Structure 1
Amino acid sequence: MGRVVLVIILWLSAATLLTVVRGEDPYLFYTWNVTYGTISPLGIPQQAILINDQFPGPNINCTSNNNLVINVFNNIDEPFLLTWNGIQQRKNSWQDGVPGTNCPIPPGKNFTYHVQVKDQIGSYFYYPSTAMHRAAGGYGGLRVNSRLLIPVPYPDPEDDYTILIGDWYTKSHTTLRKLLDSGRSIGRPEAVLMNGKTAKGDGKDEPLFTMKPGKTYKYRVCNVGLKASLNFRIQSHSMKLVEMEGSHVVQTHYDSIDVHVGGCFSVLVTADRVPKDYYMVASTRFIKSVLIVKGIIRYENGKAPASPDLPPAPLGWPWSLNQFHSFRWNLSASAARPNPQGSYKYGKINITRTIKLVNSAMRTKGKLRYGLNGVSHVDPETPVKLAEYYGISDKVFKYNTIPDIPPPNVGSTLSVQPNVLNITHRDFVEIIFENREKAMQSYHLDGYSFFALAIEPGTWSPEKRREYNLLDAVSRHSIQVFPKSWAAIMLTFDNAGMWNLRSEHAENRYLGQQLYISVSSPEHSLRDEYNIADNNILCGLIKNLPKPAPYT
């Protein structure tokens, strides 16, 4: 009997030890040094923001549920933050890295982010959220691979490549910021870059990537630019779309794909052509002056240069709208589903609240501003999340200063103030983006994926719900809105915290076209939201206040 008890005790001890050893997900550690440096992507030396002397910054390659510990040293002359575009960070908006949740890292100081990618997969990127720093670089790719136990709906590719494309200005980020502060627009970009470069086509260009004949490769493409939608294509090659912003999609072949600001997708490309060089091409869409960037793919043992005849881009935004209609979520793939579990049947969930956001642009006191539902957001010195947590929100901002359904004349005036919505935890909400302007728009929501239900011309009304895709709309984190059109999304606000909803067009965001959504749990429980990290930087009115009692 005693021997049996001893065996049971040893077995329990081993099981407990195994739980301790395996109980926490893996950690990946990074140390990043943010500095200024000189680059010449267009042949003209200009200042850029480098991370560890790299432009673009280092790629992060991680797996679902990994913990990323990133120690960022700010060695530029301005306060600085990084945000993680598309990483949901469950219960942890403290690490979101936007001015509404975090105090910026002062010059000469550092801050250690602790970002857990949770149960998500896909192609993402990080970038600076302060000032106009994104115009100077500081961005990089972030890929989240599926765990080995979860099958991916296609064979493993020979290799996995990240392509960061975006419009580019030769003016410095400080000059662009001064233009906006003076009340003017930053105007049109001067170029487009691909992984920080552009091929000249003079026979001296080095390839960005190489491929072995007969092998299939995965290309992750993200638009990291400031305002221009881009069309991406590969000379003489078809692309099979397999993933979009964290979701496996119904696999479809495309000759070219539009990628809007803040968006990402993954395609499979098979090296089934004559071994030689081929151009990857990205060109601007929906602006008068078309800008083109090229990058070379080289077949191993290929002898011939790339043909100068580039594949043409599609014309008009109706083509892009039709392409959006062709995207479908792959419901049979084994992958994480947006919370709550079962919400892939989102079309059967009752809508708790409908919010229509109408963008507008006008001059206030002679200066250009952008707004949502008549409010142009401005970041207070005390981040709105910190003000809320420390119980002094009434001294910093007001909740719900905009109506859920704005009047027809919304945008005829603009008030400049913090724009913070309060949404009840776990409500299922419908959000309509209505673009009454002549320019393209793109929106992103931190902390969540949402179902991209519809994009259509005209204005939205409840009858338009008949046009929603309520079966297999792609779950993603950004959505474009074409001129004089509307877009509709749905999601469950089950991720407690303070989350930024913004125009991904840098000029619009900087001049107020954004807001924050406070999703608070009434229980103030660790079940719903983590406590503020001990190393969080404090600023503004809360700098010298005692820390509130922690959640339990």
Structure 2
Amino acid sequence: MDRIKLISMFLCVCVGSMFMVECGDPYIFFEWHVTYGTVSPLGVPVKGILINNEFPGPNINSTTNNNVVVNVFNNLDEPFLITWHGIQQRKNSWQDGVLGTNCPIPPGTNYTYHFQVKDQIGSYMYYPVTSMHKAVGGFGGLRINSRAMIPVPYDPPADDYTLMIGDWFNKGHTELKKILDSGRNLGRADGVHINGKVAKGDGKDEPLFSMEAGKTYRYRICNAGLKTSLNFRFQGHTMKLVEMEGSHTVQNDYESLDVHVGQCYTVLVTADKEPRDYYVVVSSRFTKRESTAMGIIRYMNGKGGPSSDIPKPPIGWAWSLNQFRTFRWNLTASAARPNPQGSYKYGGINITRTITLANTAEKVDGKLRYAINGVSFVEPTTPLKLVEYYGVADKVFKYNNIPDEPPAEISKVALESIVLNMTHKSFVEIIFENRETALQSWHVDGYAFFAVAVEIGKWSPEKRMNYNLLDAVSRHTIQVFPHSWAAILISLDNCGMWNIRSEIWDRHYLGQQLYISLLSPNRSVRDEYNLPDDVMTCGVVEGMPRPPPFSS
């Protein structure tokens, strides 16, 4: 059981100390113990990763502007690191939990994350980024509730449920790592799961959740898998989409939703059918062989098992593209807005830089690598943010080592740590160009961006005429269909070192990621927090004297 404490008094710790959080807002505390344990989502025992003996891991239940403190004890036999997927970490990339900003937690030790869920609401998740740990657990839900004084654009639900869905490999993380290190891709997953379970349909399945007839429930759905897009649906019930990755949406009804890797949706489901059991169903998308998992949703005092009539998933990626076009931001909802405040009028902001990122797969010395604009990312032995802060970046990486525009043909791939030097408070257009036949999914740490277009074919400047410049959803993960492109607009005001990565995890592991560096122009804590007192150091900065802190 998590040891969780909510402190409502005005607990204040000054900026520049070990707590990189804001004074005056409540704190919530968690103590997590990370261990190995046997899990078997598909019926095959696998050495999984548990948090406080839970798989998936415990939910973090927070409220806008809460200061979150998570003390993570690594009881594995290898280094471990967790990232907080979609949490913007204002001025605080020190707590992002990726290898470009943090040293991994050594076995037998602990590290305490301190971050604030500043100006955010919605459904998120956390997961490990070291090795292939994500393949066997260590992931869970992270919800941010609106403050009581802020109205939500729907009635309070009867209850709030989290569904972690994903694909699953029965090989275990060590074997999967060997496959990738040998220069091969992971291939097709063995199946899919819902909260680490698959209903057998034999009448003995325990329900995932229960509903009372006539009431409405909130379901938060996150795809925490490695590489497979999933279609999610309720048997006999429609879903009202109300929030997506931190933004309230226009409330359309859906019979099913495609949830791509790294994405989270929130839906409302009303228990308005005959009281009995119903299936919630997840199916793989865009795979040669369909995999399906089911779970039980039980009506209280209901009688009878679920029908054998299982709703079918849609066919083809064009259906998914058309569904994307129905997603709209709810501009009338009272909620946290993306920073800087006012940037929701993004259609009137001038673009200062355009970057096109093209993904390709090539072999280097006979081994498969995934690249961006001809460069495949190599994890440094010292986090990029640390060497930058200590003033020794030239010992580890070079800035701007990929072009803003990819070559027309990419046949040779270089291996480097990719870092783009960005300008504070610039407004950047990023084009994700998919030159391959597999669907891609991209995530940006530290920011919400405006997903203004996803289209087939090749991007060109005149395609801006097709952008949604009014109510594109502000989010942090975007899919790119085969031989297609996606355009995002992003206001770069959050100083730090931030990861842009493929959420397709074999691609991420084999080089399809980069970092953007955004430095405080005046070395001011108004722009970026100082190095925390308790941050782990490693590599070339180990034992070096700390640089002077930023001024106020």
Residue 418, structure 1, aligned to residue 397, structure 2: no
CA distance in 1, matches of 2:23, 2:233: 44
Alignment of 1:297-312 (within 5 A): 297-312=297-312
CA distance in 2, matches of 1:134, 1:42: 16
CA offsets 1:57-76 (integer angstroms, 9 cap, x no match): 00000000101110001010
CA offsets 1:179-228 (integer angstroms, 9 cap, x no match): 10011111110010100101000000000000000000000000000000
**Structure 2 counterpart of 1:376:** 376
CA distance in 1, matches of 2:43, 2:253: 36
**Structure 1 counterpart of 2:462:** 463
Alignment of 1:355-366 (within 5 A): 355-366=355-366
Structure whose alpha-carbon radius of gyration is higher: 1
**Structure 2 counterpart of 1:331:** 331
CA distance in 2, matches of 1:327, 1:207: 31
Please tell me the root mean square deviation across aligned C-alpha atoms, in Å: 1.2
**Structure 2 counterpart of 1:487:** 486
- Structure 1 spans left out of the alignment, 5+ residues: 1-16
CA offsets 1:444-467 (integer angstroms, 9 cap, x no match): 000000000000000101011111
CA offsets 1:416-473 (integer angstroms, 9 cap, x no match): 1100001001100000000000001000000000000000000101011111000000
Deviation at 1:544, TM superposition (A): 1.1
**Structure 1 counterpart of 2:206:** 206
**Structure 1 counterpart of 2:508:** 509
Q: Is the partner of 1:294 in helix, strand or coil?
A: strand
Q: Is the partner of 1:500 in helix, strand or coil?
A: strand
Tell me which amino acid in the other structure corresponds to 2:467: Y
**Structure 2 counterpart of 1:4:** none
CA distance in 2, matches of 1:56, 1:342: 37
**Structure 2 counterpart of 1:54:** 54
Residue 290, structure 1, aligned to residue 290, structure 2: yes
Aligned residues: 535
Q: Is the partner of 1:530 in helix, strand or coil?
A: coil
CA offsets 1:300-354 (integer angstroms, 9 cap, x no match): 1111000111101101000000000000000000011112221111011000000
CA distance in 2, matches of 1:19, 1:100: 31
Deviation at 1:522, TM superposition (A): 1.6
CA distance in 2, matches of 1:285, 1:170: 19
**Structure 2 counterpart of 1:153:** 153
CA distance in 2, matches of 1:40, 1:364: 36
**Structure 1 counterpart of 2:392:** 392
Q: Is the 8 A contact 2:10 2:25 kept in 1?
A: no
Deviation at 1:19, TM superposition (A): 11
Deviation at 1:43, TM superposition (A): 2.0
Tell me which amino acid in the other structure corresponds to 2:493: D
Deviation at 1:279, TM superposition (A): 0.2
**Structure 2 counterpart of 1:93:** 93
CA offsets 1:49-94 (integer angstroms, 9 cap, x no match): 0000110000000000101110001010111000000000100000
Q: Is the partner of 1:250 in helix, strand or coil?
A: coil
Alignment of 1:64-463 (within 5 A): 64-409=64-409, 411-463=410-462
CA distance in 1, matches of 2:408, 2:450: 26
**Structure 2 counterpart of 1:5:** none
CA distance in 2, matches of 1:256, 1:352: 38
Q: Is the partner of 1:326 in helix, strand or coil?
A: coil
Deviation at 1:18, TM superposition (A): 8.3
**Structure 1 counterpart of 2:473:** 474
CA distance in 2, matches of 1:25, 1:206: 39
Deviation at 1:163, TM superposition (A): 0.4
CA distance in 1, matches of 2:166, 2:360: 24
CA distance in 2, matches of 1:178, 1:84: 26
CA distance in 1, matches of 2:309, 2:421: 53
Tell me which amino acid in the other structure corresponds to 2:386: L
Deviation at 1:40, TM superposition (A): 2.1
CA distance in 2, matches of 1:215, 1:119: 30
CA distance in 2, matches of 1:201, 1:178: 35
Q: Is the partner of 1:83 in helix, strand or coil?
A: strand
Would you tell me which structure has more helix in proportion to its own residues? 1
Deviation at 1:280, TM superposition (A): 0.2
CA distance in 1, matches of 2:509, 2:447: 22
Deviation at 1:491, TM superposition (A): 0.9
CA distance in 1, matches of 2:454, 2:11: 47
CA distance in 1, matches of 2:319, 2:537: 48
CA distance in 1, matches of 2:519, 2:182: 37
CA distance in 2, matches of 1:23, 1:185: 47
Tell me which amino acid in the other structure corresponds to 1:467: N
Q: Is the 8 A contact 2:230 2:260 kept in 1?
A: yes
Q: Is the 8 A contact 2:88 2:447 kept in 1?
A: yes
CA distance in 2, matches of 1:244, 1:115: 22
CA distance in 1, matches of 2:422, 2:473: 23
CA distance in 2, matches of 1:399, 1:41: 43
Q: Is the partner of 2:345 in helix, strand or coil?
A: helix
What TM-score does the superposition give when structure 2 sets the normalisation length?
A: 0.96
Structure 1's 19 and 71: CA in aligned 2 closer, same or farther, altered over 3 A?
closer
Structure 1's 437 and 211: CA in aligned 2 closer, same or farther, altered over 3 A?
same
Q: Is the partner of 1:32 in helix, strand or coil?
A: strand
Tell me which amino acid in the other structure corresponds to 2:241: L
Tell me which amino acid in the other structure corresponds to 2:173: H
Deviation at 1:23, TM superposition (A): 5.0
Q: Is the partner of 2:321 in helix, strand or coil?
A: helix
CA offsets 1:119-172 (integer angstroms, 9 cap, x no match): 100000000011110001000000000001111000000000000000000001
CA distance in 1, matches of 2:322, 2:353: 29
**Structure 2 counterpart of 1:6:** none
CA distance in 2, matches of 1:415, 1:497: 25
Structure 1's 316 and 150: CA in aligned 2 closer, same or farther, altered over 3 A?
same
CA distance in 2, matches of 1:40, 1:178: 21
What TM-score does the superposition give when structure 1 sets the normalisation length?
A: 0.96
CA distance in 2, matches of 1:447, 1:464: 27
Tell me which amino acid in the other structure corresponds to 1:162: T
CA distance in 1, matches of 2:198, 2:373: 40
Structure 1's 347 and 53: CA in aligned 2 closer, same or farther, altered over 3 A?
same
Report percent identity of matched pairs. Answer: 67
**Structure 1 counterpart of 2:549:** 550
Tell me which amino acid in the other structure corresponds to 2:511: G
Deviation at 1:407, TM superposition (A): 2.3
Tell me which amino acid in the other structure corresponds to 2:382: T
CA offsets 1:485-540 (integer angstroms, 9 cap, x no match): 00000010100000000000110000000000001112010000001111111000
Q: Is the partner of 2:302 in helix, strand or coil?
A: coil
Deviation at 1:229, TM superposition (A): 0.3
Structure 1's 530 and 23: CA in aligned 2 closer, same or farther, altered over 3 A?
closer
Q: Is the partner of 2:325 in helix, strand or coil?
A: helix
CA distance in 2, matches of 1:276, 1:482: 38
**Ranges of 4+ aligned residues in structure 1 off by more than 3 Å:** 17-23
